[in-house]
Chains A and B, each alone.
Chain A
Amino acid sequence: MCLAIPGKIVEIAERSRLATIEVAGVRRKVDLGLLQDEMPQLGDWVLIHVGFAISKVSEQEALEQMLTLSRLGEAEQAIREVRAYGQQE
């Protein structure tokens, strides 16, 4: 129900709750008021929904997730290879 897109903070005024985010070259001001507990910094990525940043996006988690996903099927593949060796001997 909720269209939220990751955007990069490219401008952030001091002591202001507004920042400019960029998505594929498109810019819009967003309100950072919902992330007061851990204020995002310039260069951070946030999820944007109705002109507000609702969450930070963690690059670390994203990388880990992609790593896990890319390895799907590897364990199976390894087992198949070992079995194949076993049959050859």
Chain B
Amino acid sequence: MLQLRTPKGDGEHSEPVGLKSEARDSSPSFAVLLRDPQIEMAHGAGGTATRRLVEGLFAPLLLHSPSEPLADAAHVAVNGTRIAVTTDSFVVSPLCFPGGSIGELAINGTINDLAVAGARPEAIVVTFVLEAGLATKILEAEVRAMAEAARRAGVQIVGGDTKVVEHGKADQMYVTTTGIGSPLPGVTIDPRLVQVGDKVLLSGCMGDHGITILLARGELDIQADLRSDTRSVFPLVDAMVRAAGPGIRWMRDPTRGGVATSLNELARDCSLGIHLFEPALPVRDAVRGACELLGLDPLHIANEGQFLAVVASKYAERALNALHQTPGGEEARVIGEIHEQPAAAVLVTTPYGGSRVVDMLVGDPLPRIC
């Protein structure tokens, strides 16, 4: 989820956002721009509607400097020490699917948000909102999954909160995780650092998670040998930062809305153009088959175990090699590069020399028959 980030610069602020009363004063120039009369499902899908909500309502009212680019984690300075903090909520149906469950998504998701903000995940707190009537066995299974995911990632779960709501008020369970991390030395993540000529890297195959969930719902009666890609990407990020830290400009984990949405956000934040090479986009056969059958574009499908990185051209090979040599990074690729034009947009160049623009979706991708 996009975090509201404090302005950069060590020592500039000594409190986390929101604690000081001045932070709550909204400057007259930061008016609420959101015109939508009510909240729709699209506002949670990660696409243009979500961005409108965050930029148009949350940022102007909550953030100290709403015009700063939004990031995956916020960096705050506490008594001179910088820490990264992030929060994320998990709403998924079905709770369990091939490759994982909501518990793992929650832990890995928060770890990944910290990782792509250039931080080592240190500790996580968890909130459960449970629906009355939920079988304890199901809850236990999720909690075990979370403990295992945290253990695998070397991250401690240090506390949490629980609420129970009436039957029908929560889809079995909602999980929110808040994580803190310590910024890795030698890397600064900021879309404003992105330059023409930089390369765009993707850590592995697109679309595994989103298609797995879609098929797991059972409504389409389609079977495929696919699993969610949920995992901690921190080991990969860590390896890449060690090898190519000074060259890393920006990272993001392309969750809901897919690679297309994350790169469109970057394109807008840096006002440059992003050109992707279609033949270089890594997609598993089964994901491709399902997408062709359902009229979906893998670029718009959610991932839960991948990250994007923009790396200065002369560091790109180093970064890619580091990924290839780290378990889980074998399928990493350079998928594109940064250009001047078209400003603030993402293009996919076809193998034929033509191109098409890839936009953010409004809401979730829907299967089509036409």
- Mark A residues whose CB is within 8 Å of B: 1-3, 5, 7, 23-29, 48-50
Contact = CB atoms under 8 A, between A and B. Distances in A.
Contacts of B52: none
Contact of A24 (B221, B288, B295, B368): B288
Contact of A23 (B225, B292, B369): B292
A56 to B, nearest CB: 18
A72 to B, nearest CB: 15
A28 B221 contact: yes
Contact of A26 (B224, B295, B368, B369): B224
Interface in B282-316: 285-286, 288-290, 292-293, 295
B292 A5 contact: yes
B325 interface: no
A69 B231 CA distance: 45
Interface of B: 220-225, 285-286, 288-290, 292-293, 295, 368-370
Given A24-B285, A25-B286, A48 B225 contact: no
A1 B222 CA distance: 22
A25 to B, nearest CB: 4
B289 A24 contact: yes
B222 A25 contact: no
Nearest to B290: A26
A55 to B, nearest CB: 16
Residue in B224, B293, B295 with the greatest tally of chain A CB atoms within 10 Å:
B293
A89 B62 CA distance: 84
Chain A, interface SS category: strand
29 contacts: A1-B370, A2-B369, A2-B370, A3-B368, A3-B369, A3-B370, A23-B289, A23-B293, A24-B285, A24-B286, A24-B289, A25-B224, A25-B286, A25-B289, A26-B222, A26-B223, A26-B224, A26-B286, A26-B289, A26-B290, A26-B293, A27-B223, A27-B224, A28-B220, A28-B221, A28-B293, A29-B221, A49-B369, A50-B369
Nearest to A49: B369
B223 A28 contact: yes
A25 B222 CA distance: 11
A48 B295 CA distance: 12
A48 B222 CA distance: 13
Contacts of B288: 24
Residue in A27, A29, A50 with the greatest tally of chain B CB atoms within 10 Å:
A27
Contacts of A48: 293
A28 B288 CA distance: 15
A5 B292 CA distance: 7
Nearest to A51: B221
8 residue pairs, one from A and one from B, having the closest CB atoms: A24-B289, A26-B289, A25-B286, A26-B224, A23-B289, A24-B285, A1-B370, A27-B223
A7 B222 CA distance: 13
Given A5-B292, A5-B293, A48-B293, A27 B369 contact: no
Nearest to A3: B295
A2 B224 CA distance: 23
Given A28-B223, A28-B293, 10 more contacts: A2-B369, A23-B289, A23-B293, A24-B289, A24-B292, A25-B224, A25-B225, A26-B222, A28-B220, A48-B293
Contacts of B293: 5, 7, 23, 26, 28, 48
Contacts of B221: 28-29
B190 to A, nearest CB: 39
Contact of B285 (A1, A7, A25): A25
Contacts of A29: 221
